[in-house]
């Protein structure tokens, strides 16, 4: 591995420290008594000035990463950054043991090193609260320099500019540790996410519900329409699936006598990557006996109010959608609209006949879908088409929190049939800022109806629907046959909720370590194509069917993997030359009749 000049210098410094008997990575405890923010908040000149009579100087033991080292002969200043913020450290040769200042601090310590400091708090002549060190210990040597950022404020205009700003999303997501070290505001996003989860847990615990854990490895997957990740258990010689949902196990617990259970856990779905999708994600699922979906809407309103108050101090939450920032109002009640009414309002087509009590036939729904530019194939049933129409024509327009209710039976195999609307189920989704935040049902507890729904799903899978469940979960049906009480169930996407509450543009901004493509892609090439959604879907379909060298697609990317709903990245295999594959990609664009769409090559590592 080739080292940069700075990396080599730091390794030389570590070696020199060892020669002097200084361990660059000591094992001894360093017992911190204060953090930077606490010191800055507590210090008062008239009470703590060490040079004044009758005061009580503050002695502190702190630790953090050294920044902005400024050596000035026999004394130096630097800033120490800990989790709470930064504070200036004053180091004087005569305050430290002989040789520590000249031989160690000045020559062998670098910015980015972790240091322990013991000393007294004072205020400099320039007015900055600082710590005068009388003990300095190296806690961990940094062998790779962090990118340096410098912020300068124009004294006349007040304009602030940051130089060498690390804003490339690819760098930030891949090297999250460096991103967190450089950007305290990113750490705050994840602290806010923590507060969201804790608020939900306290809310549900206070309601008397029990938090449980269910299997992540399952012999059958179910509870949602999604493709699973598959693995194999060697000792039992059997296939297993990473769960796509917790639902079926949690409802088994209602059969067993629990009246309210919830789980906040990782689920896994073998799907594409985008600004709003990551194959590994966090879900809250809650099931409460003797309740229905109408009651659950009230619980969601109260819970989301509590979350907004906990993280924003208000039920008004700013959220950027496109180029506009909206204020989402999470105070109850939220608007409630049946899905077919929402579609009729947006498209002019009413696809549910309330008087006859039936959903329009598949061909009529498919015609509306085609009119909206949605690609239709034979595997898509009426429910799937309704979902596609809603996602295209309605969902993006719903900015304020809105409950969309009463879905087709075919689309909701685990929900109870609507008590007053034939052909529909008692289900709602909460949409805010154009995206789904939660999904809930009056839960189906009729084992015979559930078996028929499973069989319908298996039929859709046989017809080619990759997200329909092929296997029938006989054990779950057996549990229902013992009797499950009527219940309401809820699923909340924690990642999506965190995006809204922290106003982040991408799901990757609220995941500490999102799934990314390999850092180097030998024998692969990515081409970014820009265009409207319908055009990009047409292009993807054409490329997939026409080119054996096509590997896949990632939605919602821009150059350098910045965010952008109007971009996709097309991945191709190449064993020969970069230019050949770029030409192949451009040919695919032309093949799809989209010659006017711009293509842009990304700078990947490619073996040529």
Report DSSP state, residue 332.
S
Residue 170 has a pLDDT of: 83
> Residue 140 class from Cβ within 10 Å (0-12 exposed, 13-18 middle, 19+ buried)?
middle
Phi, psi dihedral angles at 278 (to 5 degrees): -135, 135
Q: Mean pLDDT, consecutive 10-residue segments, the chain of 608 residues?
A: 90 98 97 98 96 95 95 95 97 96 97 98 96 98 87 77 74 93 95 98 98 96 88 96 96 98 96 88 98 98 98 97 93 97 95 92 94 90 93 95 95 91 96 96 95 86 73 94 98 97 96 84 54 60 58 45 48 48 51 40 32
Residue 166 has a pLDDT of: 76
Report DSSP state, residue 294.
H
Domain 524-601: give its CATH code.
3.30.70
Phi, psi dihedral angles at 76 (to 5 degrees): -145, 160
531 three-class SS: coil
Q: What's the rounded Cα separation, in Å, for the pair 60 and 75?
A: 20
Q: Residue 2: CB partners within 8 Å, gap ≥ 6? A: none
Phi, psi dihedral angles at 88 (to 5 degrees): -80, 140
Q: Residue 90: CB partners within 8 Å, gap ≥ 6? A: 75, 76, 77, 119, 122, 124, 130, 131, 132, 133
Cross-sheet strand order for the sheet of 238-242: 217-218, 238-242, 230-233
Closest CA relative to residue 260, chosen from 215, 212, 220: 212
Residue 272 has a pLDDT of: 82
Q: How many other CB atoms sit within 10 Å of the CB of residue 142?
A: 19
What DSSP string runs through 564-588?
EEEEEEEEEE-SS-HHHHHHHHHHH
Q: What's the rounded Cα separation, in Å, for the pair 528 and 129?
A: 50
**Tokens for 489?**
């169930």
Closest CA relative to residue 340, chosen from 375, 365, 372, 377: 365
Report DSSP state, residue 25.
S
Long-range own/partner contacts, residues 201-208 (CB < 8 A, 24 or more apart): 201/264, 203/302, 203/303, 203/306, 204/260, 204/262, 204/286, 204/303, 207/260, 207/299, 208/260
* Domain ranges for the chain: 5-145, 151-182, 187-334+400-509, 524-601
> Residue 548 class from Cβ within 10 Å (0-12 exposed, 13-18 middle, 19+ buried)?
exposed
Instruction: Tell which CATH classification among 3.40.50.2000, 3.10.20.30, 1.20.1540.10, 2.40.50.140 matches the domain 5-145.
Output: 2.40.50.140
Q: How many helices (H) and strands (E) does the chain have?
A: 17, 26
Domain with residues 187-334+400-509, CATH architecture? 2-Layer Sandwich (3.30)
Q: What's the rounded Cα separation, in Å, for the pair 244 and 318?
A: 31
Residue 226 has a pLDDT of: 86
Check if the beta carbon of residue 270 is closer than 8 Å to that of residue 470: no
* Model pTM score: 0.83
Helices (H), 35-175: 36-42, 45-48, 106-108, 169-174
Q: What's the rounded Cα separation, in Å, for the pair 182 and 175?
A: 11
């Amino acid at each position: 591995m080739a080292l940069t000049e700075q990396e080599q210098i730091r390794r030389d410094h570590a070696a020199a420290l060892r020669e002097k008997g200084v361990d660059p990575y000591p094992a001894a405890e360093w017992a911190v008594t204060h953090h930077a923010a606490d010191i800055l908040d507590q210090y008062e000149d008239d009470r703590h000035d060490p040079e004044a009579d009758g005061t009580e100087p503050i002695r502190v033991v702190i630790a953090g990463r050294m920044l902005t080292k400024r050596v000035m002969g026999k004394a130096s200043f630097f800033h120490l950054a800990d989790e709470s913020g930064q504070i200036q450290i004053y180091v004087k040769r005569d305050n430290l043991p002989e040789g520590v200042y000249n031989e160690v601090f000045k020559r062998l310590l670098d910015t980015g090193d972790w240091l322990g400091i013991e000393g007294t708090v004072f205020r400099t002549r320039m007015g900055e609260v600082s710590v005068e060190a009388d003990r300095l210990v190296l806690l961990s040597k940094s062998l790779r320099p962090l990118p340096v950022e410098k912020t300068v404020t124009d004294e006349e205009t007040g304009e602030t500019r940051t130089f060498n700003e690390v804003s490339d999303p690819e760098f930030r997501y891949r090297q999250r540790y460096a991103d967190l070290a450089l950007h305290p505001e990113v750490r705050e996003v994840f602290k806010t996410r923590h507060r969201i989860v804790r608020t939900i847990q306290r809310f549900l615990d206070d309601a008397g519900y029990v938090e449980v854990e269910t299997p992540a490895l399952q012999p059958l997957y179910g509870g949602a329409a999604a493709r699973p990740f598959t693995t194999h258990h060697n000792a039992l010689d059997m296939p297993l699936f990473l769960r796509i949902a917790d639902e079926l196990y949690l409802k088994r617990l209602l059969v067993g006598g629990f009246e309210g259970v919830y789980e906040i856990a990782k689920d896994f779905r073998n799907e594409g990557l985008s600004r709003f999708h990551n194959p590994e994600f966090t879900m809250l699922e809650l099931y409460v006996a003797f309740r229905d979906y109408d009651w659950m809407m009230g619980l969601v309103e109260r819970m989301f109010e509590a979350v907004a108050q906990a993280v924003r101090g208000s039920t008004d939450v700013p959220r950027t959608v496109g180029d506009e920032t909206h204020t989402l109002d999470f105070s109850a009640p939220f608007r409630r609209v049946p899905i077919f009414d929402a579609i009729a309002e947006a498209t002019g087509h009413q696809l549910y006949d309330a008087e006859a009590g039936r959903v329009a036939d598949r061909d009529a729904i498919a015609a509306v879908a085609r009119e909206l530019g949605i690609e239709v194939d034979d595997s898509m049933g009426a429910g799937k088409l309704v979902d596609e129409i809603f996602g295209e024509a309605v969902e993006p327009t719903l900015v304020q929190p809105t409950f969309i209710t009463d879905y087709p039976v075919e689309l909701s195999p685990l929900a109870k049939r609507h008590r007053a609307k034939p052909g529909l189920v008692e289900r709602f989704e909460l949409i805010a800022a154009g995206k789904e935040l939660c999904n809930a049902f009056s839960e189906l507890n009729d084992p015979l109806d559930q078996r028929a729904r499973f069989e319908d799903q298996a039929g859709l899978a046989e017809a080619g629907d990759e997200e329909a469940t092929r296997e029938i979960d006989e054990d779950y049906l057996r549990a229902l046959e013992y009797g499950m009480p009527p219940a309401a169930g809820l699923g909340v996407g924690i990642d999506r909720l965190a995006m809204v509450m922290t106003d982040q543009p991408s799901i990757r901004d609220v995941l500490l370590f999102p799934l990314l493509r390999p850092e180097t892609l030998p024998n692969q090439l990515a081409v970014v194509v820009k265009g409207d959604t319908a055009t990009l879907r047409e292009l993807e379909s054409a490329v997939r069917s026409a080119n054996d060298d096509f590997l896949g697609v990632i939605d919602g990317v821009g150059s350098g993997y910045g965010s952008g709903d109007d971009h996709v990245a097309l991945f191709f295999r190449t064993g020969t030359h970069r230019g050949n594959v770029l030409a192949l990609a451009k040919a695919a664009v032309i093949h799809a009749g989209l010659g006017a769409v711009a293509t842009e090559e990304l700078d990947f590592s490619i073996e040529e």
